Each structure stands twice: as structure tokens, then as C-alpha cells.
Structure 1
Amino acid sequence: MLTPVVDAPSERYRQLYHRGSTTVFACRHDPRFSYCLYVPPELDQAPESYRLLIAVHGTGRTMSAYRDAFVEFALYHRCVVLAPLFPVGPCGDGEPDGFKYIIEDDIRYDLVMLAIIDEVAAALGIDASKFLMFGYSGGGHFTHRFMYLHPQRLLAASIGAPGSVTLLDDTRDWWVGIRDFERIFGHPIDLSAMRDVAIQLVVGAADLETWEINHPPGSRRWREGINDTGPTRVDRNTALLSNLKAHGMRVEQSIVPNVPHDGMKVLPTVKAFFKRVLDGHARDDAK
């Protein structure tokens, strides 16, 4: 028996703009920020069975490209893809990097992200209590710092080639270390919850340019100790790996051969990691 075609304008609108690769939506919590989605067409049959996969752009703000790159993965692994947009200069000053460091003037980017997640979960009827998050370059900055703030929300975090890293180091202030973390954010880091997160650090083996990530004293991004984790993104990725391992985290590193600073070229490695995580949870749920 054929499924009847729903011809109501509201249903046509929903299928056109709220399913598949969607249009761009302003965040209701703070319309300075927006997002787009990929919603598999079969979602409405069992929305509670879908996971949320978040892909965070870098400085170039290629949010829709990352969204589109995860479409096939989402279809096969029952995921909704959410790609936020944190635009340049939301405070009117042209600042391109605020989202990377979580706090910018009156903005808490982690709370904006959580508000977007809540909005999407309510609209689609999915369970977003735990989700997958990938971020590359500037998105890698955001993803590992978001993990420090909200580890209980993450099923897995793939941290791609951040130019600067925050170490679990209580001798240095945020965002080089975490000495003043509780004063700034109102709660301590939950290391126990972080140990439940599957963590991937990914970087291209040829990601060796240093001009954008080494900051001399007196420059805009200078912090004491900012360059101590090594000159390249590979060095900094490895320093973060050692630091997280020393604190008992479930972390693995993937250095992708022949890849420069190019987020699209590490995605096969990221998808393989997320697949292992989802397959492991499916086995646990079946027990």
C-alpha cells in the first residue's frame, strides 16, 4: 500500500526547509548566531534513535561545507548534523577569534552552543543529552575548551589541529592553563566526567606552517606560555595528547600522512573514529 502524499503547505515547507540539507536558522537565544542542519529524511519514523553530530567551523566559517561532508555518515549512522555559525565580529569590532576562546565580552560561546542544541533537539524530537563534536583549526580550539566545560554532554570529541591548546595545567591562567578556571566559569573542571569522553586528536603530518600560531610578546594573542607547546600544530597536538593522557583521559592521536592544514582531508579519519564510538555504544546498549 502506498503511503499517502501529504500536500499541506505546512508539510511541504517542513520537508523543503527543515529536512535534508536545511536553510540557515538564527539562534532564538541569541540571533547574532546561527546554524544549519542535515536532517535525514527517515528521522520522523524514529527520532529518538538518532544521535546529534556537531561540526564546528574554523576561522574561514565554512559551516555548510562541513555539514555537507557528514551527510553520508549521518544517513548510515542515524545522526542529525548540526553546523553552528559563529560569525566574525558579533560585538561590532571585527574580531575573528572570539569563539575559539569561549568568552568574548558578554558572550559565552559554550552557552550559545548549548542553547542551539536545545533548540534543535526540541524541534526534531531527538535526544541530545550526549552528542558527538568535531572541530577543526578554530573549531578545534572551541571543541577541546568546550569539553573542559561540559564533558558530561559529550559522547566523543574529535579535536582537529588547534593553533593553540589549553593544557590541564593549574600553574597557568586560562586559556593557556586552568589555574583560574573555577573563578571564571563558576565550577571546577570535572576530570572524572572527562575520562568518560572518547577523545581523538587529529592533525595532518604536513601541517607545519607557523606564521599564524606563534605569537610574540606584545601581540594581540600573547599569553605567558602560549608558545611553550611547540612551534607547529603537530607539536601542539602532541603536547595536548601527553597532557590528557597524564590525567587519565581516553585519548588517541591520528597524524594523517601527507595532509597540510586542511580540515576536509582529515574527515575520513574523523568518521572512522566516530563510527567506532557509535558501534561501541550500540554493542553496550544491546547487552
Structure 2
Amino acid sequence: MQMRTIFFFILSITHITSFSQSSTLESLKKDTLFIIKKNPEKGFYHDYILFVPKEIPLSNKIYLLVEPNNTGRPTDSMEVHKKNAIDLASVSSVGNNISTMLKIPLLVPIFPRPASQELMYTHALDRDVILEKSPTLKRLDLQLLAMIKDAKMVLDAMGINVESKIFMNGFSASATFTNRFSFIHPQIIKALAIGGFNGELMLPQNTINEIKLSIGT
């Protein structure tokens, strides 16, 4: 198996304007993974990961790809969720393959899935988490929107221009998250791909190219 070199950076809001053209071009010679620190003032209470594949084009607008994290089990350890999200962003996901092949950036949130609140399936964006009132877990869909907005600022500072809409994908719980997120926020979705999800697909429109779609209820 071919080994890849991936550069890791940890950024806070104060670092967004610190990119120079030379440092950006140097980092884009290798796959680069940024860990962006949480920023409650901007609407997100958890870190997120931004994977930028090498040789990403700087001349044209491209799409940002988003894949929700899915640890696979509840745990109160954020380090476990962080490790799994890093693996998802940089190695073991369809999203990473799409990002690398299409040369588009990939955003992966580091959302918790607390064992202390086991019935709250955060990684599937279930009803319990939508109704949750605690700041760190409240409206994870809106927190993800805030992360997307912030990621666009980070990418813009690097000279990478992205479209207003996003690509989104997921598998299993993250597919359910993607399905529900797209139903709540269809205006931001350009295209999505999901697999292995539970329940009916919730489509945000009745037809595409004059073809009638089967709408879940």
C-alpha cells in the first residue's frame, strides 16, 4: 500500500490570516490536515477537521465536501472521537477518497457521542439531539453550518475559493445525519451521496430534471 505524507496543523481564529502565498503553496505540495479549534462566538462548540489534498487547484471555484464523523460507539472521551474523525478525514473514508480524487477540501466535524447520554444519537442527528438545550450539543446541524462558514474563511485565506453550496456524504449513522441535514438545509446542498442508512430518504424537492421523485414521509 502506498504511504502518504500528511501535514497536521492546529489553528484557532487568530491564525486564519497568517497564511502567506509561499507557505500556502508549500503546504499544498502534500496532503494537509488542519484541526480548527472550537469557537462558540462563531457558533460551533467543537473542533473540526479540514483536509486539503495536495495539488488542489487555486484558479477555479471548487466544492467543499462535508462528511459527518461517526465513531461507531458512544464514549465520553473526546480524544476517541477526535482520533476517529482524523482517521476518517485522512485515511479510512469514502470522503477522503472523493476529496483526494477530485482535489477538493473535506470538512469533518468532531462531534461527541456521549455514553452518559446514550439514547442521544448525535452522530445520526436524531430527534433527541435536535431538541437538546445544552450549548455543546444544541442544534448540531446549525453548529455544522457555522463550521462550514468558518472553513470557507480558512480556505479563502489560503487562496482556495469554494462554491456557496457543498457536496456531502456519509455511511451508516453519518448517512442518516447527512439525510436529515439535507432535509433541514436543502439550500446549501449541491449533491449528496449516502449508503447504509436507516429509514427512508428525505428528499428536499419533488422533481429533478422533470423526473418525479419518491418522497419519504
Q: Contact 2:67–2:169 (CA<8 Å) still a contact in 1?
A: yes
Give the corresponding residue for 1:32: 45
3-state SS in 2 of match to 1:132? strand
3-state SS in 2 of match to 1:83? strand
Give the corresponding residue for 1:67: 89
CA distance in 2, matches of 1:191, 1:141: 18
Percent identity over the alignment? 23
**CA displacement 1:195-233 (0-9 Å, x = unmatched):** 459xxxxxxxxxxxxxxxxxxxxxxxxxxxxxxxxxxxx
CA distance in 1, matches of 2:53, 2:62: 9
1:111 and 2:119 correspond: no
CA distance in 1, matches of 2:123, 2:98: 26
Q: Contact 2:43–2:143 (CA<8 Å) still a contact in 1?
A: yes
**CA displacement 1:68-120 (0-9 Å, x = unmatched):** 2444542442310111111123xx94445134216141211211111100000
The one-letter amino acid of 1:120's match is A
Q: 1:127 to 1:55 in 2, by over 3 A?
A: same
Q: 1:13 to 1:104 in 2, by over 3 A?
A: farther
Q: Contact 1:22–1:39 (CA<8 Å) still a contact in 2?
A: yes
1:84 and 2:109 correspond: yes
Larger radius of gyration: 1
Specify which of 114, 118, 129 is matched with residue 164 of structure 2. 129
The unaligned stretches of length 5 or more in structure 2 are: 1-17, 73-80
Q: Contact 1:145–1:166 (CA<8 Å) still a contact in 2?
A: no
3-state SS in 1 of match to 2:164? coil
3-state SS in 2 of match to 1:36? strand
Q: Displacement, 1:132?
A: 1.2
Specify which of 17, 33, 37 is matched with residue 22 of structure 1. 33
Q: 1:159 to 1:50 in 2, by over 3 A?
A: same
TM-score, L = length of structure 2: 0.62
Q: Displacement, 1:149?
A: 0.9
For these two proteins, the number of residue pairs brought into alignment is: 167
Q: Contact 2:64–2:166 (CA<8 Å) still a contact in 1?
A: yes
Give the corresponding residue for 1:271: none
Give the 5 Å matches for 1:146-225.
146-163=181-198, 165=199, 190-192=204-206, 195-196=207-208
Give the corresponding residue for 1:57: 69
Q: Displacement, 1:167?
A: 6.1
CA distance in 2, matches of 1:59, 1:145: 18
TM-score, L = length of structure 1: 0.48
CA RMSD of aligned residues (A): 3.4
Q: 1:20 to 1:137 in 2, by over 3 A?
A: same
Q: Displacement, 1:16?
A: 6.2
Give the corresponding residue for 1:203: none
Q: Contact 1:40–1:79 (CA<8 Å) still a contact in 2?
A: yes
